[in-house]
Chain A
């Protein structure tokens, strides 16, 4: 390694060069189920310490991708390296360093909360004693200490989800894969999970997550890809995606009539882009208030008007032609 590589712009980088190579690297990655192609040639790089998101509607291929990265589903084509290793040949060695929170919880309902963690830790070779200590710490981390010795079966969905996340951490993983970590949780439980994931990120753990939630992606992800129909349709930081694929502000107009469609034609030239949804019309504009004035000047009287900043949801709508169903 040359000196120049280690000292860029007068600053010395602490990490060894090997650890700045992507932890996950996919090129033309494909997953087929019979004749059906679920993941259709995607390129992804996830770097150490990053929080990386897959955003996409139902059936986009997010879980299929996560399962390939989790080394439980062999790729049907393309190239995939995880932690510098080959997922098909080195499955167990890679999985030893991953933490996985699958889309569907698969905790053992008949074991206690604590036993779910300790038995799982043993698969990774964590000694019994260490497993017990770590289970106690993790239960504290996900705020389940009080339920440590109760069975899993009667726990609420949010508690189970938190336990699954705790279980994904028993081996102190380098990369945590979270497939829809907060789907089905109430807002309070969701915020708790976000806060915990954010703490993990601060500790230098690399997070890879899938989500349908824009706010989740905006809050947690440094970088994300938008997937649709097995393909990546956009990539970047949440901010950059909004700047590239949307305008600064959005005006939402709701007309009292049956069909919003009828009004769309009367809005020509008012916005960079007009999106007609079944229940409202979106105007993509630089300045929302100006646009509202112009709408009124044309004699249109929408029942409701909302001016807001552009969000990932708008990017998503623009790229996939669909709103995300929460």
Chain B
């Protein structure tokens, strides 16, 4: 058999899809363990914050019952948590421990395909977790408007906005303790101060501007507008463009960092 005569399959039209398929294959094995927590967690938060804390917030926020007010915020913060959790240790592991990226790099994939395929998986995880959250909160009667479905594209954009730069970060750090630092100094403060639990306006000036700079605040404001039917505090295209800028900038960073790690 001559080498020249061998017939060869066409390379995949969208190579990143085959990378996504790989990540989904692994997820098929573990999703059951996660599904419980993605339903339990919203139930507990709604009970704890909405009913528990809400019981002390008699007048609600801006005339909206506290439970209804925080659900959009919790939804966006769920997307953020999942997106970041899925782009820290898993990305680090694929470089350092399982070396899956190295394996993919030896196949006819480009660095961009490897990043895009994994990012698509993170997006899938964030959106399905958010959808589960939405479903549970709706069943618990904490969602008032059908416009709430508009929150899903918003949290998808938020997930990309935070996952892409986190990919770059996780590809650049030399030890996994840097990943724990990211949670401690970025994710937790963001979740606390970006308007999820209380209005950003109640923060002192400097902190308030920091909160406005976080992608989370922009997503929270959009989600809240969609779910409560109230006008957002900032322009809708402005919010979307700001989140998109994070996603695009993060993508550029991630591809750069991945290339530096994989092409040596």
Minimum CB–CB distance from B247 to chain A (whole Å) comes to 25
Set B21, B108, B110: member contacting A96, Cβ < 8 A: B108
Known: A106-B100, A106-B103. A122 touches B21 (CB 8 A): yes
Stretch at the interface among B5-13, B32-40, B160-168: B5-13
Set A72, A107, A111, A127: member contacting B106, Cβ < 8 A: A72
Known: A18-B4, A96-B108, A110-B29. A124 touches B11 (CB 8 A): yes
CB of B128 within 8 Å of the partner chain: no
Q: When each residue 160-194 of chain A gets 1 if its CB lies under 8 Å from chain B and 0 otherwise, what string results?
A: 00000000000110100000000000000000000
CB of B41 within 8 Å of the partner chain: no
- Complex A-B: 22 CB contacts under 8 Å: A14-B2, A16-B4, A18-B4, A33-B264, A48-B3, A72-B105, A73-B264, A91-B110, A92-B108, A95-B108, A108-B98, A111-B29, A122-B21, A124-B9, A124-B11, A124-B108, A125-B10, A125-B12, A125-B18, A174-B6, A203-B1, A204-B1
- A residues 85-128 near B (Cβ < 8 Å) are 91-93, 95-98, 100, 102, 104, 106-111, 115, 118-120, 122-127
- B residues 15-31 near A (Cβ < 8 Å) are 15, 18-19, 21-22, 25-26, 29-30
Residue of B nearest to A99 (CB): B106
Bound complex: CA A118 to CA B18 (Å): 11
- Determine whether the beta carbon of A123 is less than 8 Å from that of B263: no
Q: Which residues does chain B contribute within 8 Å of A119, judged by CB atoms?
A: 18, 21-22, 25
Residues of A within 8 A of B (CB): 14-16, 18-19, 23, 33, 48, 70, 72-74, 91-93, 95-98, 100, 102, 104, 106-111, 115, 118-120, 122-127, 130, 171-172, 174, 203-204
Minimum CB–CB distance from A279 to chain B (whole Å) comes to 38
Bound complex: CA A93 to CA B153 (Å): 36
CB of B214 within 8 Å of the partner chain: no
Interface SS of A by simple majority: loop
Q: Which residues does chain A contribute within 8 Å of B104, judged by CB atoms?
A: 123
Set B3, B99, B107: member contacting A123, Cβ < 8 A: B107
CB of B109 within 8 Å of the partner chain: yes
Known: A95-B106, A126-B9, A127-B9. A15 touches B22 (CB 8 A): no
Residue of B nearest to A115 (CB): B25
CB of B262 within 8 Å of the partner chain: yes
Minimum CB–CB distance from B242 to chain A (whole Å) comes to 35
- Determine whether the beta carbon of B22 is less than 8 Å from that of A122: yes
- Determine whether the beta carbon of B102 is less than 8 Å from that of A96: no
Minimum CB–CB distance from B264 to chain A (whole Å) comes to 6
Bound complex: CA A200 to CA B23 (Å): 31
Known: A19-B4, A111-B26, A123-B19. A70 touches B106 (CB 8 A): yes
Minimum CB–CB distance from B221 to chain A (whole Å) comes to 39
Q: Which residues does chain B contribute within 8 Å of A126, judged by CB atoms?
A: 9
- Determine whether the beta carbon of A174 is less than 8 Å from that of B3: yes
- Determine whether the beta carbon of B99 is less than 8 Å from that of A104: yes
Residue of A nearest to B114 (CB): A123
Bound complex: CA A91 to CA B9 (Å): 17
The residue in B2, B106, B263 that gathers the most chain A C-beta atoms within 10 A of its C-beta is B106
Minimum CB–CB distance from B163 to chain A (whole Å) comes to 21
Minimum CB–CB distance from A73 to chain B (whole Å) comes to 6
Bound complex: CA A96 to CA B264 (Å): 20
Minimum CB–CB distance from B54 to chain A (whole Å) comes to 41
Residue of A nearest to B107 (CB): A123
Q: Which residues does chain B contribute within 8 Å of A125, judged by CB atoms?
A: 9-12, 18
Report, nearest first, the 8 A-B pairs whose CB atoms are least far apart: A123-B107, A106-B99, A92-B108, A122-B18, A96-B108, A106-B103, A125-B9, A119-B22
